[in-house]
Amino acid sequence: MALRKVSGLREAGCQVTVISPELTGGLYDLQSSGQIHWVEKSYQPGDLRTLGLGPNSLVIAATDRPEINRQAWEEALQLGCLINVADDPEHSNFILPAVVRRGELTLAVSTGGASPAMARWLRQELEAQYGEEFGMLASVLGDLRPDLIAMFESEEERRKAAFQIIESGILDVIRRQGEGPARAYAASFLKNLQASHRNERDHRTGF
């Protein structure tokens, strides 16, 4: 659990300090490579203050001892920190959703702390359903945004064109041929959409 949460914080650009008498293999690797700071001890009240934590800090208590988690909760509140106590929503003032990341695409699931097991199960379902091709699609669509803005005057027209690209079979192109051919496919499809849109507009205006 700690490794998963630390990894998520690192992906978000956080500077992470872990207070623990020992580290699991994955956390030890992060510490050895300088990606996290390790305080090699059991948590004791006052440790958060010693680290200089305050209102701009996040605290996650993920020990298997409820009394230690409760002490961390009380100290974090005193310092004005945001704190999440694993599997204890009553002693958390923020939640960490189960997250699936596919490049620029992020899918998050939360049960509001009611069932972390269900959130993890749903995350696994999303991981199986939405592969890396969806991240590639998000990247392709992101790069096409300036073209959509230039080609179509209204937001409604741009949104409709984006939907048509998504539904055009581009995901199959990504799966079969990769991101490069999918970009060429999307650019060609968009030009055809623009030509069709122009013809419809000219027909309506009598030209």
What confidence tens digit (pLDDT) does each residue in 169-187 have? Answer: 999 999 999 999 999 999 9
Here the tokens at position 130 are 């939405």
8 A C-beta contact, residue 38 and residue 68? no
Question: Is pLDDT above 70 for 37?
Answer: yes
Position 170 scores a pLDDT of: 97
Which percentage of the chain shows pLDDT scores above 90?
70
Q: What angle do CA 4, 7, 12 make, to 5 degrees?
A: 130
Query: What single-letter amino acid sits at 23?
Result: L
Exposure on the CB side of residue 28, measured as CA atoms within 13 A: 5
Strand blocks (E) in the chain? 16-19, 36-39, 58-61, 82-85, 98-102, 105-109
Per-residue confidence band for 195, with pLDDT thresholds at 50, 70 and 90: confident
Position 201 scores a pLDDT of: 63
Position 36 scores a pLDDT of: 96
What confidence tens digit (pLDDT) does each residue in 45-55 have? Answer: 999 999 999 99
Position 204 scores a pLDDT of: 59
Exposure on the CB side of residue 55, measured as CA atoms within 13 A: 0
What confidence tens digit (pLDDT) does each residue in 96-148 have? Answer: 888 899 999 999 998 887 888 898 899 999 999 999 999 999 999 999 999 99
Position 188 scores a pLDDT of: 94
Q: Which among 11-15, 172-176, 193-197 has the top mean pLDDT?
A: 172-176
Exposure b/e, 115-147, CB count within 10 A at least 16 = b: ebeebeebbeebeeeeeebbbbbebbbeebeeb
